[in-house]
Structure 1
Amino acid sequence: MKTIVAPVSLAVLLTALPLARLVGQRSAETAHSAEMGFYTPETIEWKERPAALPAGAKVAALEGDPTKEGPFVMRLQMPDGYHIPPHTHPKTERV
């Protein structure tokens, strides 16, 4: 009986783990699907820089609003040779 239980238990375990992971992954995708996206270069809307950035810089907010509380994702286009020194921010940013 032990030799039957071990292979059956192993088969159940090998089936249950990937299914549980898939269900958890789909739940996470569903929770954020309205805000997440795939952006090709031609779909990104670039805007003029805020005053804190050098002339010639552009910004694009992909998700969220950097001017409001809450998470956001943005991209920066900087002039050639521009260096961003080490610094901190008061809130979480994804750039």
Structure 2
Amino acid sequence: MSLLARTLAAALLVIPVAGTVVAAAGDHAEHGSVTVPDAASVVYEAGPANLPKGTQISRVAGDPAKPGPFVLRIKFPAETVIAPHTHAQAETLTILAGSIYHQHGATLDKSAGKPLRAGGFVYLPQDMPHALWTTSEPVELQVNGTGPFGLNYIDPDDDPSRTAQGPR
């Protein structure tokens, strides 16, 4: 894929999160500080079309579509697969609740997946192909990164937004 095509694909697949920013007032709020007092304070919305159905997402701080740091909370239901993909920027994943499997590589190989449980952490450099999947339980995780941030499926046919729109 040419650099122009790859750049265009990344721009088109930037995770569009219009969710509520959870910011608490306080003596530093005017400086852009964000405080989340507890998990019950996080407001989730339906995830974007390029993530599997049933995904819920909250933009806790920043905006992944814009330059600068961001923090997202994401919930994936049980039996969810996020097919092999890359991101235009480095990211970190921290598992908050439940468990998920993570695997490096451009093709899905569940035998190579490593389980991550609450407290688990993954650092992924820019353009590192990887896949994630849940089994019998849902998972909640936190994604930290720098925008603009996008999700680029290795196989474009794995993008759930393509199947939602029908064949092309």
In the superposition, the TM-score normalised over structure 1's length comes to 0.54
Correspondence for 2:49 among 45, 51, 55: 51
Cα drift, residue 92 of structure 1:
3.7
Q: Which has the higher contact order (CA 8 A, sep 6+)?
A: 2
Q: 1:25-64 maps to which residues of 2 (within 5 A)?
A: 34-64=32-62
User: Going by fraction, where is strand more abundant, 1 or 2?
Assistant: 2
Q: Which has the larger radius of gyration?
A: 1
Task: Note closer, same or farther for the CA distance 1:85–1:55 as it changes in structure 2 (3 Å cut).
Answer: closer
Q: What is the alpha-carbon root mean square deviation over aligned residues?
A: 2.4
Cα drift, residue 73 of structure 1:
0.5
Query: Per-residue displacement from partner, 1:45-93 (whole Å, max 9, x unpaired)?
Result: 1011101111111100111011211110101111212133453211244
Task: Note closer, same or farther for the CA distance 1:64–1:93 as it changes in structure 2 (3 Å cut).
Answer: farther
Q: Supply the distance in 1 between the matched residues of 2:70 and 2:55 (Cα, whole angstroms).
A: 19
- Check whether the contact 1:64–1:73 (CA below 8 A) recurs between aligned residues: yes
- Higher mean displacement: 39-48 or 80-89: 80-89
User: Going by fraction, where is helix more abundant, 1 or 2?
Assistant: 1
Unaligned runs of 5+ in 1: 1-29
- Check whether the contact 2:54–2:76 (CA below 8 A) recurs between aligned residues: yes
Alignment-mate amino acid for residue 70 of structure 1: G
Aligned to 1:80: 78
Q: Percent identity?
A: 34
- Check whether the contact 1:71–1:93 (CA below 8 A) recurs between aligned residues: no
Aligned to 2:63: 65
Q: Supply the distance in 2 between the matched residues of 1:62 and 1:39 (Cα, whole angstroms).
A: 12
Q: Supply the distance in 2 between the matched residues of 1:39 and 1:67 (Cα, whole angstroms).
A: 25
Task: Note closer, same or farther for the CA distance 1:91–1:76 as it changes in structure 2 (3 Å cut).
Answer: same
Alignment-mate amino acid for residue 49 of structure 1: G
Alignment coverage as a number of residue pairs: 64
- Check whether the contact 1:73–1:93 (CA below 8 A) recurs between aligned residues: no
Alignment-mate amino acid for residue 65 of structure 1: D
Alignment-mate amino acid for residue 44 of structure 2: W
Q: Supply the distance in 2 between the matched residues of 1:82 and 1:55 (Cα, whole angstroms).
A: 8
